[in-house]
Structure formats: structure tokens, C-alpha cells
Structure 1
């Protein structure tokens, strides 16, 4: 059977010990099946792999029709932001504990990938956040986030005060350590540890989760993703905004973070039989106590 894919991009968590050998094994797996392989330039440089072409992310996005990411969920998040604009689907291979979005064990990559390259897979689409920071009427920073956008105080600073508008409506003034706006993907990340609900990936919504609010009546809320969410800095010091842990520091009073649903989404490919609920059971230990 002819492969469904022609050219695969290979991206690795190149800081991980021993990743070079694993990346080469996966690259040769595709090469033997007649699929062109290119490595992410930073991955190739850090691992010393010269057997295959090395390209920048933008070049990979333009030329490749599949990306295989070797590492954890953090590596996948960074890659997803870069490739989403190109519509390239991603497969996640994890060297350690299986993640929420990197769900193939490195020890089983060949068995998992063999049917997938012939078209036998489950495709899942995830929404992304798009945010801009506005100051004095102009945008000073913008980025995408797969998981969440977080406005928070510095490590030694006191609480921040934030004004929250949803669409054209004022919602609340919040005093807290910070505020998380998470996608369904991010609902199982920082937002979950701060007490937020889990959103199924098919739900067209966000979770808005206060971090250690001053008033205990400030509770997490699920919002539609069809309108803008605006977070304005009212008071506080050493305030920053994080896009999937990419930080813009030193927000000023009056700065506004405007967040909306990105026109681009992330495409994940999973082996046949993959289940979102099975992933939750495994990662959150919901099977504990069962026979």
C-alpha cells in the first residue's frame, strides 16, 4: 500500500539524553518506506544528526505533510504553535511517561506508525487561543497558545487586580494571584491544578480560572469561544502574561490582553483505538481502586 504521507518533519526534545539515537531510528523507519524525512534545524544541530536535511520550522511547515514530535507534551505544544498555521498534522512519541497529547510510547513507535502512515488513524482537531497585548492603543505583543494564556503576579509581588470583559459585557474586577484562560486542551494543565473543570476537546469553549482569588466567591467559569475575552491590568506589580509559558514581563496598569479563538487549529493523529477518556483514566489515575 502506498503511504498516505510523502514528507515527514521530525522534531525532538533535543535536550533529552539519548534522543539522537531514537530520532535516527524513527527517521530510518520512514526512509525505508520511501517517505522523505527532514529534521527540525535546532534538533539536528543539538544532536549532531547530518543524515537528513535540516530545515527551519517555517520551511518544514511549507514542505511537509506530517510532523512527528519526540518528547513530552511541552515539546508538542511548541511544535503545534509553529505548525498549526500550515495545517500540518502531528503525531506525538513520548520517551517517558505518556502525556495527554504525546500518546505513543517510544518502545512501540514502529508498531504504532506502520498502520498510521497507511491512513489508519484517529484524527483529532483542537482549538487554539490567540492573544494580543494592547498598550496606549497599539499592539505590543501577540502570540498563539495551545494550552492557556495566564496573567499573573511576580514571585515576590502582592495580588493583582484585573478587570474582565467578555464580549461587550463587563464581568468582574478580580483580585488574585492571577488568572488563567485555558482551551479544552489546557483544561487538564495549569487550569486543572487551580481548580478548574475539564473540558472535552469537542466543546467550543474556554475555562476562566482565578488563581488563589481574594474572594472565595470568584469561581472558575466556562465561556463560549465565540467572543473576545479582555483582561485589563488595574493594579499590582511585576505582572506578566504567559502564552503556553512564553512570557512577556512588565505589564503596566491599563494594559489590555485581548484573547480570541485562533483561526488556526491543531491536528493530532492517534493510533486506531485511541480514546480521550482512556487518556484521562491513565493520566489522572481514575482506574485506582478497580480490580
Structure 2
């Protein structure tokens, strides 16, 4: 990697102490990392200050400081340009962030020595078709969620898989999650955990008012269509925890495997089930 960008979460790295530490570490080795202008001016280190969106144009590697949410926030833009991400965990869980703060300097050494692997994580593409023919396309690393928004009661959802009716159920919403996202909202809603390398994804209802509607695991070649059978104007579409747009009962949401993959830099030796035990099972004892 010749051009490394640093993206900190300003709520996690509040005083930019870690951002400065990383930038200074690179400076000592004759490297100027890239930073967004508004952040570069706040630290006393030699950096290349660019507009935030230009980080994805100039950099061939990103160091993201924060938690999983911070990584999710940059995953779409980074995946479109095939930029690998190294996550430094300042959050609570840290499923995606590979490095803990105490491992930082060793990780940076291995990064410049190319002693790492890159894990490719499947993503989802959500295409929203409006009644007026409008089209919106988004990509998600964790999940795509359609929820009832401010609607005060359950909404009836129609789920079709490969143009075949799969289920109709009243619920608070529907989660469509990748293997990476299976340990997030999907897990909270009672969905199954999938290993990150699985070529599959899962559709999970949120609080369905039925006794039989459960999660459905799909092949990565399957395609899902979601629409509501209720007359409502403010269904919420969110991807990776961020609200993208509101939907009406006339809108249809099509979900399939994205042509993009998220590239996560793996330096630590921790395995998936070790992380699962550490982050979820043992943490809740």
C-alpha cells in the first residue's frame, strides 16, 4: 500500500489521540497518510489533506478508527473502489474491527511489511422501484431493513423469492442480512448465525404476529422482493443501521447479492468462533 488513509470516528477518538498516534507513526517512517481536511488541520502531524470523498480516490488502503458502525459507514464507498479496510476497535463489540488499541503498533508494522491477509465479505444490493418508475440503488455489508417507521401498528409484508411467493406476515419489519450481518440485528430478532464465508444470506421477520414465520436462509444467487400490503407513506428503509429513505405501499424493494465485496484486512490470529465467544457469549455472562 502506497497511499494510506485514516478515517476516525470523532465520537470514539474524541481528542484525535489515536489518529495523531497513527499519523506520527507513519511520519517516522517517511510516510504521509491521507486525512480529510477538517481532521488533518486538527492534529500536528504531516498528512495529505483532501476532501473526505477524495480519500476513496487517492487511497489504496484505509485505517478506520472506531467500532463496527464506523467500518459499515465506509464499506459501500470503499468496496466500489476495491479499497481494503483495517479496523481499529474503539467500540463495544468489534466484530469487523480486527485490531484492539493495545495491538496497534504491532499491527502497523505488519501492515507496511504486508504481513496480512484480506477477507472478502459478501454484500447486498437493494434496488427500490417506485410507482413512478424511479429507481434507487444501495449496497450494504451487514443488512437491509424494511420497517414500519412511525406507523402505529403491525404492517403486512409480502415476501417473494425468485418471483415466487414465500410468505405474507404482519410484523414490525423485515431484515435481510449477509453472513457478516447475521450477528447484528438479525441475531437480536432471533435469526441464525452464519459463518462469514458462507455463500448465503438470510431473511428474518421482526416480531411477526404468527406462530410459523421464521428466518429463511437463501443461496447467494437467490433474489428477494419485499413489499407492504398496507396503505402507508412512511415505511423506513435502512442499510447497515442508517436510514436511507422512506417508502410507500407502492414501492417495491428488490434485494440480491451485490457485485461488490468488502475487503477487510486481517492481521490478528483470532478466528470467528473465538470472536463470537469473546464478544457475545462471554460478555453477557
Q: TM-score by structure 2 length?
A: 0.92
Instruction: Say if 2:119 and 2:265, in contact at 8 Å, map to a contact too.
Output: yes
| Farther-moved stretch of structure 1 (149-158 vs 261-270) | 149-158
Distance 1:43 1:207 in 2: 38
Instruction: Say if 1:154 and 1:239, in contact at 8 Å, map to a contact too.
Output: yes
* Residue 219 (str. 1) matches residue 214 (str. 2): yes
| Equivalent position of 1:135 in the other structure | 130
2:239 to 228, 236, 243: 243
Distance 1:34 1:284 in 2: 40
* Residue 170 (str. 1) matches residue 165 (str. 2): yes
Q: Name the Cα RMSD after superposition.
A: 2.1
Distance 2:160 2:89 in 1: 39
| Farther-moved stretch of structure 1 (49-58 vs 187-196) | 49-58
1:267 to 255, 263, 269: 263
Distance 2:168 2:245 in 1: 21
Distance 2:284 2:258 in 1: 37
What are the Cα deviations for residues 146-193 of structure 1, in whole angstroms up to 9, with x where unaligned? Answer: 110101112451111111111121211121110000011110000000
Instruction: Say if 1:57 and 1:82, in contact at 8 Å, map to a contact too.
Output: no
Instruction: Say if 2:20 and 2:43, in contact at 8 Å, map to a contact too.
Output: no
Cα pair distance change 1:177/1:288, threshold 3 Å: closer
| Equivalent position of 2:27 in the other structure | 31
Distance 1:214 1:288 in 2: 28
Q: How does 1:1-291 map to 2 (within 5 A)?
A: 5-16=1-12, 18-41=14-37, 43-44=39-40, 47=42, 51-136=46-131, 138-155=133-150, 157-235=152-230, 237=232, 238-286=234-282
Instruction: Say if 1:160 and 1:239, in contact at 8 Å, map to a contact too.
Output: no
Structure 2 spans left out of the alignment, 5+ residues: none
Instruction: Say if 1:68 and 1:90, in contact at 8 Å, map to a contact too.
Output: yes
Instruction: Say if 2:24 and 2:46, in contact at 8 Å, map to a contact too.
Output: no
Please give the secondary structure, in 2, of the residue aligned with 1:216: coil
Please give the secondary structure, in 1, of the residue aligned with 2:279: helix
Q: TM-score by structure 1 length?
A: 0.90
